[in-house]
Structure 1
Amino acid sequence: MAESKLEVPAELRELAEKTIDQAERAFELFFDAASKSISSIPGAGTEVSKQALSFTEQNMKSAFDHARKLVYATDLQEAMRIQSEFLRTQFTNAGEHMREITGKVMSAGKGKS
Structure 2
Amino acid sequence: MNQPKLEVPTELRDLAEKTIEQAEKAFQMFFDAAGKSIATVPGPAADMSRQALSLTEQNMRAAFEHARKLVHATELEEAMRIQSEFLRSQFTNAGEHMRTITAGMMSAATKATEKQS
The CA deviation string for residues 38-92 of structure 1, in whole angstroms up to 9 with x for no partner, is 1111132111110010000010000000000000101110000000000101110
Q: What CA distance in whole angstroms lies between the structure 1 residues aligned with 2:98 and 2:30? A: 23
List aligned pairs for 1:41-60, cutoff 5 A: 41-60=41-60
The answer to whether the aligner puts 1:90 opposite 2:102 as a matched pair is: no
TM-score, L = length of structure 2: 0.94
SS for the counterpart of 1:42 is: coil
Task: Tell me the TM-score normalized by structure 1.
Answer: 0.97
For structure 1, which runs of at least 5 residues remain unmatched after alignment? none
Q: Measure the CA separation in 1 of the matches of 2:28 and 2:53.
A: 12
Quick one: distance in 1 between partners of 2:63 and 2:39? Answer: 25
What's the C-alpha RMSD, in Å, of the aligned pairs? 0.8
Which contiguous aligned blocks of 4+ residues in structure 1 show a shift greater than 2 angstroms? none
2:24 aligned residue: 24
Whole-angstrom CA distance in 2 between matches of 1:104 and 1:8: 45
What 5-or-longer segments of structure 2 have no aligned partner? none
Alignment-derived partner of residue 112 in structure 2 = 112
State how far apart, in whole Å, the 1-side matches of 2:109 and 2:3 are.
55
Deviation at 1:35, TM superposition (A): 0.5
Indicate yes or no: 2:8 matched with 1:8.
yes
The percentage of aligned residue pairs carrying the same residue is 68
2-structure distance, mates of 1:18, 1:38: 30
Bigger CA drift: 43-52 or 97-106? 43-52
